[in-house]
Chains A and B, each alone.
Chain A
Amino acid sequence: MPETGMSEAISAAAADVLETMFFSPVMAEAALDEAMSAPALAARLRFSGGREGTFAVRISTSAAESMAANFLGEETEQPASGQVQDVVCELTNMLCGSVLSRLDSKAHFDLGHPELVDALEAATPDSVSRAFELGDGAVAVFLHLDAKP
């Protein structure tokens, strides 16, 4: 699968999911190094079906907290850390589903459950990555497709 198509799918999915579900529009594409520099939360899942691979999201703590408040409709209270983690997992799930559907709408995919991982472990080797500035911080997305058997 061409890397360009994967990058475009990630960008389109990120813009759609972040604005529609988390009310956090993408301000601009960000440099991956910058997105990886701030304290962050990360989640990762495995998927199988039409293609197998790994999908991960790394989001700065400040952006994750803001996004969780938007998602949960908490206008006055800061979401608890467990709620923020739950929202990061949901973000990972939604982004992955959206990206895979864009890559091949006729394929069948099974998504595993997103799990929180150390932020340093979000980036897997040989993954296609994109980063986005959200205003309150940045989010980086990593897609790795396993080699076909």
Chain B
Amino acid sequence: MAYSVMIVDDSQSMRKFVRRVMDLSGFEVGSCWDAANGADALALLRTHPVDIILTDINMPEMNGEEFVAELERQDVYRSIPVVVVSTDATENRIRRMIEIGARGYVVKPFSPEALRGELERVLGVANA
């Protein structure tokens, strides 16, 4: 099954890298949308629903924490699983992001296998 994916990161290079690593890992991507921050992602989601969202935390305008919280607030988006992709590996941050609604967390640096494993775990939970 090919999944519709949204990648949210203020670095265009990082968005391109994440997409490339998903392809390298064998994770099947159907359509792929990308946004530079949470606000742009919310606007894009109105017209382009997706199966899973990968988001950075540290972004201008609407950061990843605000974005995940906003997705949780809106009934129409609450069921979309969110995986955080961040350099922040501290326990407090990971716990906080999971508490507010993220379903998965991948710490940079990550291997293609690690990313695919987390995406499949999260999608498995979501589809159960």
Query: A: which residues have CB within 8 A of B?
Result: 16-17, 19-21, 68, 71-73, 83, 86-87, 89-90, 93-94, 96-98, 100-101, 104-111, 113
Contact among B12, B86, B90, B108 with A86 in the assembled complex (CB-CB below 8 Å) = B12
Given contacts A97-B88, A111-B88, contact A72 B17 (CB under 8 A): yes
Q: Which 9 A-B pairs have the closest CB atoms?
A: A97-B87, A20-B109, A101-B89, A21-B109, A86-B13, A108-B92, A17-B109, A73-B20, A87-B13
- B92 CB contacts on chain A under 8 angstroms: 106-108
In the bound complex, what is the Cα–Cα distance between A108 and B109 (angstroms)? 19
Chain A residue with the shortest CB-CB distance to B89: A101
Residue of A with least CB distance to B23? A73
B residues touching A (Cβ–Cβ < 8 Å)? 10-14, 16-17, 20, 58, 60, 86-93, 107-111
Question: A20, B111: Cβ atoms under 8 Å?
Answer: yes
Contact between B109 and A90 (Cβ–Cβ < 8 Å)? no
In the complex, the chain A residue whose C-beta lies closest to that of B57 is: A111
A98 with B16: CB separation less than 8 A: no
In the assembly, what is the distance between CA of A17 and CA of B60, in Å?
A: 24
Further 7 A-B residue pairs, CB within 8 A, beyond A68-B13, A73-B17, A73-B20: A17-B109, A72-B16, A73-B16, A86-B12, A90-B11, A94-B87, A111-B88
Residue of B nearest to A18 (CB): B109
Q: What are 29 pairs between A and B in contact, CB < 8 Å?
A: A17-B109, A20-B110, A21-B17, A21-B110, A71-B13, A71-B17, A72-B16, A73-B17, A86-B12, A86-B13, A87-B13, A93-B58, A94-B87, A94-B108, A96-B87, A97-B86, A98-B108, A98-B109, A100-B90, A101-B107, A104-B90, A105-B89, A106-B90, A108-B90, A108-B92, A108-B93, A111-B58, A111-B87, A113-B60
